[in-house]
Amino acid sequence: MARTRTLKLIIPLLIAFFAGSASADVLDEILERGTIRVGVAEFAPWTIKTASGDLIGFEIELSNSLAKDMGVTPEFKLYEWDNLIPALQQGEIDIIAGGMAITPARALRVEFTRPTATSGTGIATNIEMTEHIKTLADLNDGEIVVAAVTGTASYSVADIFFDRADVKAYATPALAEAEVLEGRAHVYLAGMPAARYLAFRASDKIDIPVDKPLLAHSEAIAIRKGEQSLMNFLNAWITAKQSDKWMPTTRSYWFETMGWASEQDQ
């Protein structure tokens, strides 16, 4: 009888122990490992690969600051944009750095922190190919070719503004940009800073016909579902960095100036 009573006491403790181990939060793993694995994709000025192969950009600076405050080292993993969420779901990375637009469709697959910033979709056009175009509505035509990166918020915007145009999706920004630079596409849809940077780099070929986002959205850090401790930490960290002005100041440097452009060639 005593043995039965002992087992009744021990079994619930064992269940609680193993349940707690099975649901251990990735935050503990990050701290024990000493590194945080950060998924990024090349989009200037969020993440840029320099001539020497180093990574710079807002997401890189954000991740470096985050890792420092956690007491760990950032480990950056570069993906094509459409592979970021699958990499997170499969456990290859711990977070997707803070440039991903919050959308309901993505929220079915990942969880988002509180916003790190507000951004939006911009439009860049080939000057020679669109010299006859007078209004934005004129670009929504079957003869107009629109280039965008697959899986991005900008690509989804094409359904709203360019439902009659020939919209083509590309795996990387470099491929999409090449289409408009080399005259195979009239329009490039991308984050407003990326569209502006393309025009800055090729001002003789590329124009920004609308200097405001076609559609605004909020950006955030993405993590796997159910990682509540990591979510709590990230939200607290974002709040602190917005309060002490680090977040808006850093964001301003990367998104409102071109002072960083020379770093790309180093």
CATH number at residue 195: 3.40.190.10
119 band by pLDDT with thresholds 50, 70 and 90: confident
First to last CA, the chain: 77
222 shares its domain with 113: yes
Per-residue tokens: 5 = 């009573």
Tell me whether residue 15 is in a domain: no
Which amino acid appears at position 222 of this protein?
A
Which band of pLDDT confidence, cut at 50, 70 and 90, is reported for residue 24?
A: low
Return the closest-CA partner of residue 209 out of 117, 122, 147, 146: 122
Question: What are 207-242's pLDDT values in tens digits?
Answer: 999 988 999 999 999 999 999 999 999 999 999 999
pLDDT tens digits, residue range 183-207?
Answer: 999 999 999 989 998 999 899 999 9
> Confidence class of residue 256 from pLDDT cuts 50, 70 and 90?
confident
Q: Please give the residue range of the domain that contains residue 142.
A: 120-216
pTM to 2 decimal places: 0.81
Structure tokens at 145: 């070719």
Does residue 15 register a pLDDT over 90? no
How many domains does one find in the chain? 2
Cα separations in angstroms, 232 against 54, 73, 140, 142, 207: 31, 20, 43, 48, 42
Residue 3's pLDDT is: 43
pLDDT tens digit string along 48-72? 999 889 999 999 999 999 999 999 9
The DSSP symbol for 25 reads -
- Domain termination residue (choose one: 216, 232, 257): 216
Residue 9 is assigned to a structural domain of this protein: no
pLDDT value of residue 211: 86
| 28 is a domain residue | yes
Based on the domain organization, do 114 and 30 belong to the same domain? yes
pLDDT band at 6 (very low <50, low <70, confident <90, very high): very low
- Regarding predicted confidence, which is higher, 87 or 7? 87
